[in-house]
Amino acid sequence: MLDVKAGDEASFDFLLRKYRSPLVNFLCRMVRDQATAEDLAQEVFLRVYRARHKYNPSAKFTTWLFRIATNLALNSIRDRRYQKLEFSIDAPADEEDSTPRELPARDMRIDEHMIERDRAQFIQRAISSLPEKQRVAVLLHKYEEMDYTEIAGILECSESALKSSLFRAYETLRVQLAPLVAQSQVRRGEGRPS
């Protein structure tokens, strides 16, 4: 980021390639819509570029990046109140350059694919039903594999408050996803050597 601050365009490209996937994933799980997530991710990179001259090296770059992303995502959710992402396979595409819909793999039966998709939607709904702060904490902890210090920095709270928030969030998810958790436990029990 210091190279970007110094005006090195190649370094900005490097940051873009390195962080586009985690950022789009995080935003997509936040707003539950890939097109919106990509728009927001573009906005994040644009803000990083605009603010390159005032970047403070004492703060970790990812903390700064995901703080911008979190704020944008929360604002977007509050503004537009995104509804759950429901689409049918034959619905017209909204944008020409939108990502092609995920189709079942050739070796996967259509019913298996539908079950998988339903499970994913069930999990996504459970995560989306969490309070904002807990949702961000879970997404950063579970999917971005960030440590407590960094997440606390992004959410601007203490580590103890974050741990408490995370525990409550995982407890809520455990209850909401109880059927899937039970299935997973059974599968684990079956796989365990007796």
Partner 1 sequence: MKCEDAVNELIAYAGGRKDSPRRRELEKHAAGCATCRTQMEQFSALSSVLDELPAVEPSFTFDARVRQRVAAEPELGWFGRLVPQPRLALSGAMLVLLAVWVVKMQPYKMGATVPVTQAVEQPEDFNAIKDLGVLENYDVLTKFDALAEPAAPQPGKAAPDNGKTND
Binding mask 160-179 for partner 1 (x = CB under 8 A): ---x--xx--x--xx--x--
Least distance (Å) between residue 79 CB and partner 1: 20
Q: Nearer Cβ to partner 1, position 70 or 173?
A: 173
For every residue of 2-37, DSSP letters joined together read: HHHHTT-HHHHHHHHHHHHHHHHHHHHHHHS-HHHH
Q: Which of residues 42-101 bind partner 1 (CB under 8 A)?
A: 42, 45-46, 49-51, 53-54, 97-99
Q: Nearer Cβ to partner 1, position 49 or 87?
A: 49
Q: Nearer Cβ to partner 1, position 13 or 80?
A: 13
Q: Which of 3, 11, 14, 34 binds partner 1 (CB under 8 A)?
A: 34
The answer to whether the CB of 33 falls within 8 A of the CB of 42 is: no
Residue 120 as a binder of partner 1 (CB under 8 A): the answer is yes
Q: Based on C-alpha coordinates, what's the Rg of the chain? A: 19
Other residues' Cβ atoms within 10 Å of the Cβ of residue 176: 17
Nearest to 69 by CA among 99, 101, 26: 26
Q: Which of residues 11-30 bind partner 1 (CB under 8 A)?
A: 12-13, 16-17, 20-21, 24-25, 28-29
Report the alpha-carbon distance of residue 128 to residue 136 in Å, rounded: 10
The answer to whether the CB of 63 falls within 8 A of the CB of 152 is: no
Quickly tell me which residue has 């997404």 as its tokens.
139
Q: Nearer Cβ to partner 1, position 84 or 174?
A: 174
Q: Terminal CA-to-CA distance of the chain, rounded, Å?
A: 53
Report the alpha-carbon distance of residue 11 to residue 92 in Å, rounded: 38
Binding-site ranges for partner 1 (CB under 8 A): 12-13, 16-17, 20-21, 24-25, 28-29, 34, 37-38, 41-42, 45-46, 49-51, 53-54, 97-99, 102, 116, 119-120, 123-124, 127, 141-143, 145, 163, 166-167, 170, 173-174, 177, 180-182, 184-185, 188
